[in-house]
Amino acid sequence: MRFRTCQFVLLISALTIVGCKRTQDTTNQFITDFLSEHSVQVYKSEMQRTRVNYIPRTKLLVYSFWKKEMFDKNGDLFLHIYAKDTALLPEARKKHGFINLSIKKEDIMVMDSLNFYITKDLSSFGELDSFVTGQYIGSKRTWFAKHRINSISSNDTSIYHNAKLDSIKNMLKIGKKDADSFAAPAYRMTFLNYLLASGSKLVFREENAFNVFWNQDSSQVYITYNIDADFLKYEYSLNFFEGKEDPSALLETVSLTDPSLNLKPGSNKVLAICIKVPEQTKRMAMLRLETDRPKMVFNAKFD
């Protein structure tokens, strides 16, 4: 009887785990995959509906939350930064040994009704030793994580420097008082571009429409774009060529309006996808099919 009871408990536990498995839409899955490939996971808890990732090469800290009710229940968010050289700390913080970074409501980036994110740029604090972050209520921490920074990876200078990164950062610091304004498509697009621009080259940008990034290290192309009525009028494709000039040297064509991407019109629809660049690619071009005739959107050559 005891053995059967144990079996029953194990079965219920297994069903609970399967039932709690989270499904994500294309854009949030893109963010999860991107962070999985380019960052260190500092903390993750399905119970707390929280994940924290640190991108060493850009010193960018990314909080991912799902289920706003759980975030509010866990209390206030804190972040303590420990510098390698404590002499560089402000006088008022030297006795504590760390800098206490405030995280405000305006820092929250709402992706949809379930998922929201917070980014903290740590690049302006010099060489870091570690950081501690979490949430607390009163004097009790509901969760916390400590991460010691690897100075070798964090000082990697092979990163592509994007001149537009600072302007994108400033767009994320607009400081609007109305929290609902942060759910606007333009702001969500800026958040996605911020993640990408810090480690990839911006190849093409069309205002409020397309942003195309190329990551040379991983041989991947990242595309962020708004789904609206105008976009759905046409068919878009990204074409990769072996020759820089020869149009017949086509290696692969990827549709950007494939039904599997779950394209839905609406003011809140922002999409991000990752495309693997075929080997031997020397050129890529985006085409838009208008009245049965393709029109070149952009053409870029790879060095």
DSSP calls for 135-156: EEETTEEEEEEEEE--HHHHT-
Q: Is 234 helix (H, G, I), strand (E, B) or coil?
A: coil
Contacts of 270 (CB under 8 A, 6+ apart): 27, 111, 185, 188, 189, 192, 224, 225, 226, 227
Q: In what order do the strands lie in the sheet with 99-101?
A: 99-101, 76-83, 128-137, 140-148
Are 42 and 54 a contacting pair, CB within 8 Å?
yes
Residue 270 has a pLDDT of: 75
Nearest 5 degrees, angle CA 28-CA 30-CA 36? 105
Mean pLDDT in order along the chain per 10 residues (303 residues): 44 42 71 90 94 90 91 93 82 85 81 87 85 94 92 42 50 42 64 82 81 87 80 85 81 85 62 89 90 86 81
Tokens of residue 293, six digits: 């005739």
The model carries a pTM of 0.76
Residue 112 carries which side chain, given as an amino acid letter? Answer: D
Are 184 and 265 a contacting pair, CB within 8 Å?
no
Q: Is 72 helix (H, G, I), strand (E, B) or coil?
A: helix
Q: Of 230, 247, 234, 233, nearest to 284 (Cα)? A: 247
Tell me the C-alpha distance between 112 and 267, whole Å. 12
Tell me the C-alpha distance between 31 and 284, whole Å. 24
Q: Is 278 helix (H, G, I), strand (E, B) or coil?
A: coil
Tell me which DSSP letter residue 21 carries. -
Beta bridge partners of 253: 239
| Helix, strand, coil content of the chain in percent (nearest 5) | 30, 40, 35
Residue 17 has a pLDDT of: 40
Are 75 and 134 a contacting pair, CB within 8 Å?
no
Residue 114 has a pLDDT of: 87
Q: Of 201, 264, 208, 205, nearest to 25 (Cα)? A: 264
Tell me the C-alpha distance between 137 and 28, whole Å. 29
